[in-house]
Structure 1
Amino acid sequence: MRFSVIIPVYNRPSEVVELLESLSRQTYTDFEVLIVDDGSEITCATEVKAFKHGLDLTYHFQPNTGQGFARNKGMELARGAYFVFFDSDCVVPPDYLKILLEAIQNRSLDAHGGPDDADVSFSDWQKAMNVSMTSFLTTGGIRGKMKNPANYQARGYNMGFSREVYERLGGFIHPNMAEDIEISMRIKKAGFRLELIAEASVFHRRKNSLKSFLRQSFQFGRNRVFIRRFHPEAVKWVHLLPVLFLLGLAMIPFLFLLFPTMGLILAGLYGLWTLAVFVSALESLKVGLLAILTSYGQLLGYGMGIIRECWFPEKRG
């Protein structure tokens, strides 16, 4: 089977180098790579050119359309039987495509999603962000740590589907708001088999500052509500937990004033949760402390995003 690896890029040439280096070390070699430079002011054309001799590589520059539509352009240009999508800040382990091929064949998959993790070489800040984005304590296991792989909703940083899926259903329908979750749900509704391949993990080298991480978490909350326009069942109880987390934290000062015992109990529960996050991230003292910061930021940002999108929904395009 020939894979088409599709990578949308926007102003991140240094990341592309690291990703292409990892792809050049794949043990399974029947694949092409399509870089869609989505209107970057700092293009990666020079960086991509350096890999032309080692990879079957296509570089396409276009005006900015958003990552979802950039992926669509990649599929238009692709020649493979199965499309694989990575974000530009990912690093792919050498056996990724080999593992993917075996899972597709052994499990008769039409589509897949895979988890992300932090490599040992990543900074303490990147490791802390990884904890807050992947821990059961913060995301409930929805990003790759679930028992039933058929329940997984693939994410754009590590996902893929067959050419048959694309030809029947089309591509991503929104440039940058939960377009990956939407197409995952559409794929399943059409009767195709999409599952989590837990072994097909990537290293996700997030470059967020605290400000951009909070903004991203806020946007993720908005995205979850936004996707209900296409799939009303998209919001489950687990997605509302960050709202409860936000409201509970805001209530603590008032409970201390009105019902001190209740305030003490609630504050104690948050304290226990905070300790659990710290212990789960205790690769080092610094990572544990930073994980507390990113975990609170992730949940509060996500909760505020849900509330914002419920009260002031994104206008229909």
Structure 2
Amino acid sequence: MFFSIIIPLYNRPQEIDELLHTLTKQSYLQFEVLIIEDGSKVDAKEIVDSYKDRLDVSYYYKENAGQGFARNYGFERAKGDYFIVFDSDCLIPANYLETVKNYLLEHQLDAYGGPDGAHPSFSPVQKAISYSMTSPFTTGGIRGNKKHIGTFHPRSFNMGISREVWEKTGGFILTRLGEDIEFSIRIHSLGFKIGLIPDAVVYHKRRTDLFQFYKQLHFFGRARINIYKHFPSELKLVHFFPAFFTIFLLLSLFLNLFGSTLAELCNTLLAVYILLIFFHSWKVNKSSKVAFLSIAAAFVQLTAYGLGFMQDFWKRIILRKQ
């Protein structure tokens, strides 16, 4: 089995250096790498070229059109039987391709997704963000988890498709705002078999500070409404949870400011939620510092997603704006 690894890149040369370094350590060697520079002002050509003696790697530069179409550009030029998509801010364990190859030979999946985790080298903030995005106490618990809610939709930070899937679907039709979920839904609709490979873990750095994390999750909230516009049945009750949480926080603040008797109940519920996050994160990460930061990351995640979700729900569903 020959893999084609496609990685879109935009102004992140240092990230691709770290990712390519991890690919030189793979135990399974039947693969190529395609780097698609999507109109970056700070390109990574020199860095990519430095790996040509260690990897079968190709570098392409194209005008900026977004990550979905950059992946399509890579699919069109890939030689593999199976295409794998990573985000540029991932680190890949040495046994990743071996794990995927063995699983696909046994289970014959047309498309797959894998979970993400925190690498020991990550900063405490990055570990807290990683915890928040994978915790059972936030919506992140449904991403790459064996006990995911509803139909499993691979995400583009760690996703693979067969060549046949690419040929039948034509790849991404959205370039951002939930493009990977839309793509997964279409793969399902054509009768292809999709599954989670639990041990195909990548270390996903995501964002290095909480402000950037806020911006990313606000975008994710808006993306969920974009998916709804294409597939109304895919909007589930769980997707409203961050919006409900955000409204609850605002209501709690209002009640506390005006001395309402309900304020105490709201404060108790929030305290219980905070303690659950703190002690669970401490158990997972073995660090009280990461546990404290996980509280902040969880609140940033839920409020950012909730505000983005409500913003586009109001504009695109209530007001029916394009």
TM > 0.5 fold call: yes
What corresponds to 1:228 in structure 2?
Answer: 228
- The range that moved more, 80-89 or 227-236, is 227-236
Quote how far apart the aligned CAs of 1:10 are: 0.6
**Per-residue displacement from partner, 1:178-235 (whole Å, max 9, x unpaired)?**
0001111111111101111110010012243322211111110000111112211121
Separation (CA, whole Å) in 1 of partners of 2:205 and 2:145 = 19
User: 1:249: which partner in 2?
Assistant: 249
Cα contact 1:150–1:196 (8 A) shared by 2? no
Paired residue total: 316
Tell me how far 1:120 sits from its aligned partner.
1.1
Does 1:35 find its partner at 2:38? no
Q: Which runs of 4 or more aligned residues in structure 1 lie more than 6 Å from their structure 2 counterparts after TM superposition?
A: none
Segment drifting more, 256-265 vs 21-30:
256-265
Cα distance per residue 1:117-175 (max 9 Å; x no partner): 11111100100111111101011621112336983211111001001001011111111
Note if contact 1:151-1:195 (Cα within 8 Å) is conserved in structure 2. Answer: no
Residues 286 and 57 from structure 1, CA distance in 2 versus in 1: closer, same or farther, beyond 3 angstroms?
A: same
Given the alignment, which residue of 275, 293, 298 partners 1:295? 298
Written as runs of structure 1 = structure 2, the 5 A alignment for 1:1-317 is 1-139=1-139, 141-147=141-147, 151-256=151-256, 260-282=260-282, 283-313=286-316, 316=322
Closer/same/farther in 2, CA of residues 129 and 304 from structure 1, 3 Å limit: same
Q: Secondary structure at the match of 2:138?
A: helix
Change (3 A) 1:21 1:140: closer
CA contact (8 A) 2:135 2:141 kept: yes
In 1, Cα distance between equivalents of 2:149 and 2:23: 25
Deviation at 1:256, TM superposition (A): 4.8
Kept after mapping to 1: 8 A contact 2:172/2:180: yes
Change (3 A) 1:15 1:258: closer
Secondary structure, aligned partner of 1:141? helix
Distance in 2 (alpha carbons) for counterparts of 1:86 and 1:140? 19
What is the percent sequence identity of the aligned residues? Answer: 44
How many Å separate the matches in 2 of 1:31 and 1:94? Answer: 13
Query: For the residues of structure 1 that align with 2:218 and 2:299, how far apart are their CA atoms?
Result: 12
Q: Distance in 1 between matches of 2:23 and 2:203?
A: 13
Give distance in 1, aligned partners of 2:244 and 2:206: 27
Write the distance in 2 (CA, Å) between the matches of 1:11 and 1:168.
Answer: 31
Root-mean-square deviation (Å):
1.7
Q: Is the 8 A contact 2:141 2:148 kept in 1?
A: no
SS at match of 2:188: helix
State the alpha-carbon separation in 2 of the partners of residues 35 and 257 from structure 1. Answer: 53
The offset of 1:257, in angstroms, is 7.0
Deviation at 1:267, TM superposition (A): 1.6
Aligned-partner residue type, residue 53 of structure 1:
D
Q: What's the offset of the Cα at 1:265?
A: 1.5
Which whole-Å CA distance do the structure 2 matches of 1:216 and 1:120 have between them? 23
Contact kept in structure 2, 1:150 and 1:194, CA below 8 Å:
no
Asked whether the equivalents of residues 39 and 64 of structure 2 are also in contact (C-alpha less than 8 Å), the reply is yes
> Per-residue deviation at 1:66?
0.5
Structure-1 separation of matches of 2:211 and 2:253: 26
Matched-pair contact (CA < 8 Å) for 2:38–2:61 = yes
- Return 5+ residue gaps in structure 1 as ranges: none
User: Structure 1 residue 259: deviation in Å?
Assistant: 8.3
Q: Aligned partners of 1:253, 1:20: CA distance in 2, in Å?
A: 47
- Pick which of 281-290 and 93-102 moved more: 281-290
Pair 41,256 (structure 1): closer, same or farther in 2 beyond 3 Å = closer
> Which runs of 5 or more structure 2 residues have no equivalent in the other structure?
none
Contact 1:11 1:40 in 2 (8 A): yes
Matches of 2:15 and 2:44, distance apart in 1 = 9
Per the TM alignment, residue 285 of structure 1 is displaced from its structure 2 partner at its CA by 2.1
Aligned residue type for 2:159: M
What is the TM-score when the length of structure 2 is the normalising length?
A: 0.94
Distance in 2 separating the partners of 1:70 and 1:286: 38
The residue type equivalent to 2:112 in the other structure is H
Residues 137 and 277 of structure 1 are in contact (CA less than 8 Å); yes or no, is this contact kept in structure 2? Answer: yes
Letter in 1 for 2:185: M
